[in-house]
């Protein structure tokens, strides 16, 4: 099955204890699509500025990602600057420039309309909804969001949730969205808002799936010797998770479990290099070897 | 195999969002021995005051725990008062009275000397060492400690670590002990100090085993609908972990993996009621059912 993803394609300036990178290729849709491309065909909807050229385009092409839905417009691409100097688990944002994203009105290329899977990466819920409405016939819809939309754009976000099968967020976001500090109770509240399946990401402690058709399931994260850059780990998790699901003939409970592992696998790779460096240069063999490592890490003899 | 445990037998006054209990039976050795008693024979070394009577003794007797090593002396038993009103993952201590523990000089009853397993619960490392030295022939020694001893009694603690096979501590303690904020690197440093095996407890996110003979292994925690009282969850984890190991004919890598699961199982039960209430009233059937639930929670199809 083919996935269409809408989200940001951007430039990031990132500082971590391991070093600094200026204006590297980033954005949720970039991480997601690179990660998912190891499993299935991916099509991107986004907007970029004049600073996005052949070299950036080539990164997507190398992974056979369809970029016909990336709109090129006058101005500069979305830009984010952040650091993780004190805490590798939480970015400190120094600067966010929406730039061309401020006036983004996503349009779905006709060639994308037969996509069976849709991923709404973390952007303004008004835009997420507009994309969802243009693709009424998809089989499975997953999405992401963040504290900013949960706090200040709740009404728009609640409309998006109604149209989701799967929501992927972190602990803080799940508890904030539900207004409940117990994760199990919060998961029940969130699932009553639309998404039958909720995946809660716990950073270095893995992720938990709540929902149907799979029962509650916990995937670990890999204990890493060095976290070079956690930027995009959540989007890479989502790409591995949803990409694997889309690659399966049927979305069974067993497929959901494997998808949680593949999500964790891709999230762990993302942290090993700056930006999308690691996501760009993986092999399916490396991915499956790490999948087996995750199995060894968690399974009884 | 039989386990001898040295540690506190105490009274706790506990307040959590679920309510309050005054002076309930507590202490690390109490939680540990109740938990381990579902797997093997346990013998306790501790000191109590005149406030410890037949009714408290009966709790241990009901679980066939050998209490001949509990010294009765003039004065009051160790007392701790704490609350978890803002954060269920971290106790706020309101009061600690060492009482009879201040002058405790542990003596090993002759009847305990053939114990093959020894657990040094979280007490003054000087006392841990004194017990360790009196039992030179044990097969396997595990222990616990806390931030207070790591920070202010480092020299004494380092002596204890040299005599340990297994150390069970939490994330903060492991990182503090190693002076390193990366868990994988911290684990390597801690293991170079003595204990070949390190179990790091992550609270609601389970625990990780680093070491020999088992490879790195992650056990989950059960996502709980309600945490009534987390007091003693770590000691109950240790009791399940070490109790299971002691019940096995051989301490193999597979046994370590099962032990991690049984530790998590016992820790999850401990949180369901105040104090030792849940630890007192379990059945082996309930324990094994939950073990299977943990397997379902983590294993691929």
The percent of chain A in helix, strand and coil, each rounded to the nearest 5, is 40, 25, 35
DSSP letter at A223?
Answer: -
DSSP letter at A167?
Answer: E
Total residue length of chain A: 301
- What was the pLDDT predicted at A82? 96
pLDDT in tens, chain A (301 residues): 999 999 999 999 999 999 999 999 999 999 999 999 999 999 999 999 999 999 999 999 999 999 999 999 999 999 999 999 988 888 999 999 999 999 999 999 999 999 999 999 999 999 999 999 999 999 999 999 999 999 999 999 999 999 999 999 999 999 999 999 999 999 999 999 999 999 999 999 999 999 975 689 999 999 999 999 999 999 999 999 999 999 999 999 999 999 999 999 999 999 999 999 999 999 999 999 999 999 999 999 8
From A224, which residue of chain B is nearest by alpha-carbon distance?
B184
DSSP letter at A261?
Answer: H
Confidence of residue B102 (pLDDT cuts 50, 70, 90): very high
Confidence of residue B89 (pLDDT cuts 50, 70, 90): confident
Interface residues on B facing A, Cβ-Cβ cutoff 8 A: 182-185, 187, 202, 204-206, 208, 210, 215-218, 220, 223-227, 253-254, 257-258, 261, 295-301
- CA B26 → CA A39, B63, B148, distances in Å? 52, 15, 19
Cross-chain CB nearest to A218 (options B184, B217, B297): B297
Q: Which residues in chain A have Cβ-Cβ distances shorter than 8 Å to B296?
A: 215
Question: How many Å apart are CA B104 and CA B100, to the nearest integer?
Answer: 7
> Given an 8 Å threshold on Cβ–Cβ distance, is A298 in contact with B218?
yes
- CA A21 → CA A15, A81, A104, A228, distances in Å? 7, 10, 27, 11
Please give the angle made by the CA atoms of A279, A280 and A285, to the nearest 5 degrees. Answer: 75
Strands (E), A149-270: 166-170, 197-201, 207-211, 217-219
Cross-chain CB nearest to B217 (options A216, A218, A297): A297
Tokens of B180: 């390193």
Cross-chain CB nearest to B297 (options A217, A261, A296): A217
Q: Which residues pair with B208 in a beta bridge?
A: B200, B218
Query: Which of B44, B3, B1 is closest to B251 using CA atoms?
Result: B1
Cross-chain CB nearest to A215 (options B185, B218, B296): B296
The model carries a pTM of 0.95
Query: Which of A78, A132, A83 is closest to A104 using CA atoms?
Result: A78
Determine the distance in angstroms separating the CA of B87 from the nearest CA of chain A, rounded to an integer.
10
From A87, which residue of chain B is nearest by alpha-carbon distance?
B181
* Residue bearing tokens 């299977």: B292
> Given an 8 Å threshold on Cβ–Cβ distance, is A299 in contact with B296?
no
Q: What is the ipTM of this complex?
A: 0.92
CA Rg value for chain B: 18
> Given an 8 Å threshold on Cβ–Cβ distance, is B216 in contact with A223?
yes
Q: Which residues in chain A have Cβ-Cβ distances shorter than 8 Å to B216?
A: 223, 297
Question: How many Å apart are CA A115 and CA A4, to the nearest integer?
Answer: 6
> Given an 8 Å threshold on Cβ–Cβ distance, is B184 in contact with A296?
no
Cross-chain CB nearest to A205 (options B187, B205, B224): B205
Q: Which strands form A92-97's sheet, in the order they lie side by side? A: A19-26, A10-16, A78-83, A92-97
- What was the pLDDT predicted at A213? 56
Say if residues B240 and B262 touch (Cβ distance below 8 Å): yes
Determine the distance in angstroms separating the CA of A78 from the nearest CA of chain B, rounded to an integer.
32
> Given an 8 Å threshold on Cβ–Cβ distance, is B301 in contact with A223?
no
Q: Which strands form B217-219's sheet, in the order they lie side by side? A: B66-72, B42-48, B3-6, B117-120, B140-144, B166-170, B197-201, B207-211, B217-219
- CA A212 → CA A51, A162, A261, A265, B70, distances in Å? 43, 16, 17, 22, 51
> Given an 8 Å threshold on Cβ–Cβ distance, is B297 in contact with A216?
yes
């Amino acid at each position: 099955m083919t996935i269409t993803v809408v989200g940001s394609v951007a430039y990031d300036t990132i500082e971590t204890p391991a070093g600094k990178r200026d204006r590297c290729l980033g954005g949720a849709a970039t991480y997601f699509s690179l990660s998912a491309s190891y499993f299935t065909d991916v099509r991107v909807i986004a907007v970029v500025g004049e600073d996005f050229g052949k070299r950036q385009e080539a990164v997507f092409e190398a992974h056979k990602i369809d970029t016909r839905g990336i709109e090129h417009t006058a101005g500069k691409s979305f830009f984010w600057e952040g650091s993780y100097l004190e805490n590798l688990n939480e970015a400190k944002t120094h600067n966010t420039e929406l730039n061309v994203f401020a006036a983004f009105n996503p349009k779905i290329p006709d060639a994308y309309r037969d996509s069976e899977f849709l991923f709404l990466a973390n952007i303004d819920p008004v835009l997420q909804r507009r994309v969802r409405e243009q693709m009424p016939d998809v089989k499975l819809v997953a999405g992401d969001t963040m504290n900013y939309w949960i706090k200040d754009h709740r009404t728009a976000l609640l409309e998006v949730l109604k149209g989701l099968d799967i929501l992927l967020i972190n602990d803080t976001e799940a508890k904030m969205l539900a207004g409940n500090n117990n994760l199990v109770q919060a998961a029940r509240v969130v699932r009553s808002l639309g998404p039958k399946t909720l995946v809660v990401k716990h950073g270095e402690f893995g992720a938990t799936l709540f929902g149907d058709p799979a029962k509650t399931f916990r995937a670990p994260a890999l204990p890493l010797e060095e976290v070079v850059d956690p930027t995009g780990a959540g989007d890479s998790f989502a790409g591995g998770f949803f990409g694997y699901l889309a690659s399966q003939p049927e979305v069974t409970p067993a497929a959901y479990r494997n998808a949680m592992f593949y999500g964790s696998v891709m999230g762990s790779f993302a942290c090993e290099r700056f930006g999308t460096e690691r996501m760009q240069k993986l092999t399916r063999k490396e991915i499956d070897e790490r999948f087996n490592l995750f199995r060894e890490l968690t399974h009884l003899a």
